[in-house]
Amino acid sequence: MTVPERLISAATELFAAKGFDRVAVQEIVDRAGVTKGAMYHYFGSKDDLLHEIYGSVLRMQTERLEKIAAGDGPVVERLHAAASDVIVTSIDNFDQAKVYFRSADHLAEDKRLAMRSERRRYHERFRALVEEGQAAGVFRADVPADVTVHYYFGAVHHLATWYSPDGVLSAEDVGRHYADLLVGSLRP
């Protein structure tokens, strides 16, 4: 691993474990086996590290969602697949996901705005799936799609709080359960 990779990796683990504000730059560079000079050579600030982690998760999830949503199966199946996929990939990259889920408001103002628009795009792509099902009459329409999406992603974000990879539930188990609940709640 190169030095910048080691720094990102160390920062991810530490941010996931203690939260952004509880991690000193010194800890990160210690774990990466370099000094602060090296870190500030590759990254402009501590915020930059967070920004990097945050962005990479968001990009990955967005890509996958768009691919799944653009598939050609019935909308119920596509929504189920998308709902399940976000769980599985979040658990597979659990440290990164934890940082992403819990650190949105630690980003500096300028970077936060940039990220927000990309996050909105993700949200709206998901919402479009729900609305498609509503228009087709296979999903209930008395709950606004927007609310439903917030509802579901609340559940997803909360994974970081309760799920443990050492427990009895595999990532696929949770993904299936969560997707079942979502799709179930949308039955007319």
Q: Which is nearer to DNA, 35 or 185 (CB)?
A: 35
Among 13, 30, 47, 132, binds DNA (CB under 7 A): 47
CB contact at 8 A, 44 and 122:
no
Question: Pick from DNA, a second copy, none: which does 136 bind, CB < 5 to 8 A by kind?
Answer: none
**Which of 132, 130, 134, 135 minimizes the C-alpha distance to 146?**
130
Q: Which is nearer to a second copy, 122 or 163 (CB)?
A: 163
Whole-number Å distance between alpha carbons of 158 and 160: 5
Question: Pick from DNA, a second copy, none: which does 60 bind, CB < 5 to 8 A by kind?
Answer: none
Q: Considering CB under 7 A, how many residues would be counted as binding DNA?
A: 19
Instruction: Note whether 34 binds DNA by CB under 7 A.
Output: yes
Whole-number Å distance between alpha carbons of 37 and 26: 11
Question: Pick from a second copy, DNA, none: which does 47 bind, CB < 5 to 8 A by kind?
Answer: DNA
- State the nearest-atom distance from the C-beta of 45 to DNA, in Å: 4
Q: Which is nearer to a second copy, 81 or 175 (CB)?
A: 175
Phi-psi region of 102 (alpha: psi -120 to 50; beta: other; left: phi over 0): alpha
Please provide the DSSP assignment of 17-61 as one string.
HH-GGG--HHHHHHHHTS-HHHHHHH-SSHHHHHHHHHHHHHHHH
Instruction: Note whether 40 binds DNA by CB under 7 A.
Output: yes
Q: What residues line the site for DNA (CB under 7 A)?
A: 2-3, 23-26, 29, 33-38, 40-42, 45-47
